[in-house]
Amino acid sequence: MNANTVLKMMKTSTLLLIALFLITSCTPASSVFSGKTNIGDLNANTQFRTGVSSLEFAFLQGLPPDQIYINEPFNIGVVLQNNGAYDIEEGLLVVSGFESTAYTFSETKKSFSALGRSAYRSEGERTQIIFDARAECFPAVATGQIANQTANFRITACYPYQSIASAEICIDPDPNQQNQGDCVSRPITLSGGQGGPVGVTQITPSVSFFKGAAQITVRAQIEHLNKDEEVYSPAFFETQCNDVKERGKIVVEMSIAGQRCDPQLVTLEQGRAIASCTFNLESAASAYTTPVAITLKYSVAKSALKTVSVVKPFGVDVPECSGSIPLTFEQANSQTGSQKGSVDCRSEPNGVSCGDNLVCHDGRCISECTRDYGAQGFSCMPKTQGSKCVPNLCPDAATNSCCLPK
């Protein structure tokens, strides 16, 4: 191929590129990109405000274990899932139900937050909370008077919440005229909840006249839709979940066509309440529709209970006690050897052998069974009394194994 041929090919390619550029430049954008961008599509999921549940929570498996041991640490764990349509930002989780002289806790109250469902989140946030504790003083168990003692731990969640209802209502300035316009004024029924345990179930508009001016009164029927979740006034949260006088009180806010009512406090009676608000009407020739928004503000409290058995560690002596224990978790962990008796190994690092399948863990000698499998409910016992036994993790391994109770 000679130089002239190459030059002709280059000129031809250049002309083709210029022609293609001119064609695309003169072509309408719609024919180049046929896809449509609708800003409204970004908010297409407007149905997230449904359901009657706010927060669901439960104890984590094995936290606490079914058996806990005197003078040994354990954990209480909770998993929380916000299934409602409101963000929890200042929730409070409280441990109660136990004898204060029997345990030490690092803390018995913890705050939490969890995002709710929204137009951009199909599911609410899931989170976990862990409490650190130690079983301290159980004289009857420690001295062998009884083999075990039942203990209860109650977790209570308390948090502020909201339900928001919205609907198009028909406003007829003159119901007696023949020209009814585009709609008929009638009660609107709402079902399925608004993403919380309290919701609006009916909205009823009615027109009246005061000194010649038209007014509309909106009545909202409010119901407690989920009896598993106790509801209280928003101020209830500030009293740390213990003011029964605030039970069933809801703060209601309404707005319509740019007008807002002052917040009003209603009290649920047999699970129901009515809130109403009156707005000024603009003159209109016929009936028309307009949106109304109703916000319910309240607090929620719900609890879960776990029953465990407190036992003496197998093959380990525990110091006797009279019911007087340190007030804080840190004080309990700083006890000296004379206070801890034969289970003390504070001067040794974790993992050092205490003899006969016992190891040092956080300043105490515990069985390898407790260290490795205690959180799953395993403990040292005669093989004939357990199931799923793991050998060579307990004192006197010839007769005892690390097992789940039958």
- 3-state SS assignment for residue 370: helix
Question: CA 298, 300, 301: angle at the middle one, nearest 5?
Answer: 150
Q: Is the peptide bond before 64 cis (omega within 30 degrees of 0)?
A: yes
> Comparing C-alpha atoms, which of 337, 312, 307, 339 is closest to residue 324?
339
Pairing of strands 67-69, 288-311: parallel
β-pair partners for 238? none
Please give the radius of gyration of the chain, using alpha carbons only, rounded to the nearest integer: 34
Dihedral (C-alpha) 51, 53, 55, 57: value to the nearest 10 degrees?
A: -120
Q: How many residues does the chain have?
A: 406
> Mean pLDDT, consecutive 10-residue segments, the chain of 406 residues?
48 49 39 28 57 91 92 93 92 86 88 91 91 86 78 91 91 66 82 93 85 81 92 71 79 90 92 91 75 93 91 74 42 36 54 74 73 76 80 79 80
> Comparing C-alpha atoms, which of 245, 177, 159, 162 is closest to residue 214?
177
CB 299 within 8 A of CB 231: yes
Q: Which residue has the tokens 């599509």?
A: 41
Distance of CA 114 to the CA centre of its chain: 6
What pLDDT sits at residue 320?
A: 62
> Comparing C-alpha atoms, which of 132, 133, 110, 114 is closest to residue 124?
114
What pLDDT sits at residue 186?
A: 86
Terminal C-alpha separation, the chain: 92
* CA–CA distance, 15 with 26 (Å, rounded to integer): 17
Q: Which residue has the tokens 């007014």?
A: 215
Dihedral (C-alpha) 17, 20, 26, 30: value to the nearest 10 degrees?
A: -130
What pLDDT sits at residue 222?
A: 95
Under CATH, what is the fold of the domain 163-227+241-297?
Answer: Immunoglobulin-like (2.60.40)
What pLDDT sits at residue 66?
A: 93
What pLDDT sits at residue 347?
A: 58
User: pTM score > 0.75 for this model?
Assistant: no
What pLDDT sits at residue 61?
A: 93
* CA–CA distance, 203 with 220 (Å, rounded to integer): 5
Q: What is the pLDDT of residues 36-60, one digit of tens each?
A: 223 233 334 457 888 889 999 899 9
Burial environment of residue 239 by CB neighbours within 10 A (0 to 12, 13 to 18, 19 or more): middle
> Comparing C-alpha atoms, which of 361, 397, 391 is closest to residue 378?
391
For the chain, domain boundaries: 163-227+241-297
* CA–CA distance, 151 with 114 (Å, rounded to integer): 30
